[in-house]
């Protein structure tokens, strides 16, 4: 009896070898150079976007990415589905699997839910954000954007400000950026910092201003109200005063620093409108690059040999 080939899940950054990360970046760069082109990489493949938590960017970006690599994509959102009649997460996914897609993209509010699924279904699972655990494609698109805007990540000082403790974006970015050779700093109110940041291999400070002059990249994060009970900061204007990225704080940065935010933004809380729309901001580049990176990720999962052909050209 021949063994079934091992499926490729993308559950977290550690699912990727260094070579995989470089292949995804190389392919994303090629896709970004022909942004209107449709590539014939996943012809005949059907994908499912299964979103059990709200999303704008990630869901639309996976949909567009699927179309740009010639796959069909079905979109499921738990709102308006039979989940509301009591159908379980696993039953929902098993029924979706019975429709015979070749891979599934999953977002869920519970950390570890893509891992739970990956062990129970036969098709590859791509994590589109699981609770406070990880959001690997966000980190890939963030790192790709840094490289595109400012060159190699090795040696860069990257400061992440905000709700580090509850942020899947922070967790995936720390894992990826450190692997790529960056030095990562984090800052936020004590209630929003992890209890032992040194375990993540980062340097932490409650207040960000000491880190700002040496930062090459500053990532601003939203307070993840949906992931904590009650309020973890005294009030939002006090938060904005100490941790918000405003023009005064942006003035402490190097002239060639960039400011990032994964979205959605709470303007006037973690970032002011003038900065989010200002010259240092690459927020919309992140969104645009999400499509190119996810085209590469979908091909890496479903047809790695086709992706290799793209980057070998």
Nearer to ligand CP, 39 or 76 (CB): 76
**Nearest CB to ligand CP, comparing residues 8 and 57:** 57
What residues contact 98, with CB distance under 8 A and at least 6 apart?
none
User: In angstroms, rounded to a whole number, what is the distance separating the alpha carbons of residues 160 and 162?
Assistant: 7
Cα(282)–Cα(107) distance, rounded to whole angstroms?
A: 25
131 interacts with ligand CP by CB under 6 A: no
- Cβ-proximal residues to 45 (8 Å cutoff; 6+ apart), any chain: 70, 71, 72, 102, 103, 302, 303
Closer of 213 and 264 to ligand CP (Cβ): 264
Q: Rule CB under 6 A: is residue 167 a binding residue for ligand CP?
A: no
**Which residue of 129, 188, 194, 244 would you call a contact of ligand CP, by CB under 6 A?**
129
Closest CB to ligand CP among 15 and 172? 172
When binding is defined by CB under 6 A, the residue of 15, 138, 167, 187 that contacts ligand CP is 138
Q: Is 127 in the site for ligand CP (CB under 6 A)?
A: no
Using CB under 6 A as the binding rule, the residues of this chain from 48 to 87 that contact ligand CP are 55-58
By CB under 6 A, tell whether 172 contacts ligand CP. no
Q: Does 208 bind ligand CP (CB under 6 A)?
A: no
- 172, 164 in Cβ contact below 8 A? no
Please tell me the number of Cα atoms within 13 Å of 215 on its side-chain side.
29
Q: Binding to ligand CP by residue 289, rule CB under 6 A?
A: no
Which of 308, 298, 293 has its CA nearest to residue 124?
A: 298
Give the neighbor-by-neighbor strand order of the sheet with 157-161: 203-205, 183-187, 157-161, 217-220, 258-260
Decide: is 145 part of the binding site for ligand CP (CB under 6 A): no
Find the length of the chain.
313
Q: Which is nearer to ligand CP, 298 or 310 (CB)?
A: 298
User: Which residues bind to ligand CP, rule: CB under 6 A?
Assistant: 55-58, 129, 138, 262-264
């Amino acid at each position: 009896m021949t063994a079934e080939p091992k499926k490729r899940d993308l559950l977290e950054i550690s699912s990727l070898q260094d070579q995989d990360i470089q292949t995804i970046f190389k392919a994303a760069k090629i896709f970004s150079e022909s942004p209107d082109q449709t590539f014939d990489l996943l012809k005949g493949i059907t994908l499912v976007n299964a979103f059990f938590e709200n999303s704008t960017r990630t869901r639309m970006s996976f949909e567009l990415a699927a179309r740009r690599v010639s796959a069909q994509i079905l979109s499921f959102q738990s709102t308006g589905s039979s989940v509301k009649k009591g159908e379980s997460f696993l039953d929902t996914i098993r029924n979706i699997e019975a429709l015979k897609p070749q891979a599934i993209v999953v977002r869920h509010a519970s950390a570890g839910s893509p891992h739970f699924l990956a062990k129970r279904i036969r098709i590859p699972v791509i994590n589109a954000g699981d609770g406070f655990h990880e959001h690997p494609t966000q980190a890939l698109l963030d790192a790709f954007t840094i490289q595109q805007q400012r060159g190699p990540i090795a040696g860069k000082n990257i400061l992440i400000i905000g709700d580090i403790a509850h942020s899947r974006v922070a967790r995936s970015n720390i894992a990826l950026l450190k692997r790529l050779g960056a030095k990562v700093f984090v800052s936020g109110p004590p209630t929003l910092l992890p209890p032992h940041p040194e375990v993540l291999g980062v340097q932490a400070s409650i207040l960000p201003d000491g880190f700002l002059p040496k930062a090459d990249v500053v990532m601003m994060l939203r307070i993840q109200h949906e992931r904590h009970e009650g309020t973890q900061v005294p009030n939002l204007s006090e938060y904005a005063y100490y941790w918000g990225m405003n023009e005064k704080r942006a003035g402490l940065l190097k002239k060639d620093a960039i400011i990032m935010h994964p979205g959605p933004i709470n303007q006037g809380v973690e970032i002011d409108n003038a900065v989010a729309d200002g010259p240092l901001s690459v927020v919309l580049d992140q969104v645009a690059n999400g499509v190119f990176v996810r085209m590469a990720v979908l091909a890496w999962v479903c047809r790695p040999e086709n992706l290799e052909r793209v980057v070998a050209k």
